[in-house]
Amino acid sequence: MGGAEFDVVTGGLSYIGKYITRRLVSLGKKVLILTGHPGRDNPFGDQLTVAPFDFDDARKLISRLQGAPTLYNTYWVRFAYGPVSFDQAVDQTKRLIKAAGEAGVRKIVHISVSNPSADSPFPYFRGKAVLERAVSQSRLRYAIIRPTLVFGGEEEILINNIAWLLRRFPIFAVPKPGHYRLQPIFVEEVAELAVNAAQSTDNMNLDAAGPDILTFEDLVRLLAAKLGSRSLILRVKPEVSLFLLKLLNIMMNDVVLTRDELGTLGADLLVSKHPPTGGVRLSDWLDKHAPTLGRRYASELNRHYR
């Protein structure tokens, strides 16, 4: 990086990481992106440098991080698939944290999730809790950002694909009882919270949650109304939802939603216990973006696993 200070963003070509990168570049920062997909299209051009993670080469990883005052870590996996597992993601993130300490990085801004717990029955939330402990026990100053349900941007998958289904299918099945709660947060506000947290000398844990709490059924009905969808929204038993999801996964050759992700909806894990830190309402965002939302299906497997 030519000897000048630079920030490192893991997953900087993916979803939240791309918005953190965009904000840093807009502030005139030099940025190094570490990614598992170094050959992916780089929308930032020569404004930054892209390199592979090199989790299995500690020396190379340390060398890449040297000279960086801040590491923004968004690396994680949404679900286990093929050789990719949550245990592997935890191990590799621990290697990253250790390398950052040895490279002289001063602060890590770590993207976690709302309501992580070492006792969680869901490996996503359990793994996030393990990594929060690793971050807090490292030699680094830290800020842990805990997003709820993130929306916005062309890379977002869940809300986009709900919109895609509402545009194309006559019926949309909501698992009973339908009042699972969600607290959507705009992706650019998550990025802003992360970059602002890097400027503080204090260690912190900060929820990233928007101003509104919606039930899942309310979310679907809001999307349907904004899209002008005529889909009939029906409540069905959870086991029926799982069966329909399996059919949809086969049809799309993708993982639309997992059993665990359906379970997290019912466990109220995507709602913060603290005052909201974001101000953009999903309904207001939809007023502008509904015409283009859900026009194309967003494949998780194509994006991260193939």
Q: What is the 3-state secondary structure (H, E, C) of 124-181?
A: HHHHHHHHHHHHHCCCCEEEEEEECEEECCCCCCHHHHHHHHHHHCCEEEEECCCCCE
CA distances in angstroms from 111 to 41, 47, 73, 136, 174, listed in the order given = 23, 23, 6, 13, 29
Domain range for 168 is 154-182+212-304
**CATH number assigned to the domain comprising residue 223:** 3.90.25
DSSP annotation of 46 = G
Per-residue model confidence (pLDDT) at position 3 = 59
Per-residue model confidence (pLDDT) at position 229 = 98
Convert the pLDDT of each residue in 233-269 to its tens digit: 999 998 999 999 999 999 999 999 999 998 898 899 9
Asked if residue 154 has pLDDT above 80, the reply is no
Please tell me whether residues 99 and 226 are part of one structural domain: no
Please tell me whether residues 11 and 128 are part of one structural domain: yes
Please tell me whether residues 139 and 161 are part of one structural domain: no
Q: pLDDT grade, residue 179 (50/70/90)?
A: confident
Please tell me whether residues 115 and 260 are part of one structural domain: no
Domains held by the chain: number: 2
Q: What's the rounded Cα separation, in Å, for the pair 7 and 3?
A: 12
Please tell me whether residues 141 and 222 are part of one structural domain: no
**CATH number assigned to the domain comprising residue 76:** 3.40.50.720
Give a yes or no: residue 1 inside a domain: no
Convert the pLDDT of each residue in 58-108 to its tens digit: 999 999 999 999 999 999 999 999 999 999 999 999 999 999 999 999 999
Please tell me whether residues 140 and 246 are part of one structural domain: no
Per-residue model confidence (pLDDT) at position 8 = 98
Give a yes or no: residue 81 inside a domain: yes
Does the reported pTM lie above 0.85? Answer: yes
How many other C-beta atoms are found inside a 10 Å radius of the C-beta of residue 251?
9
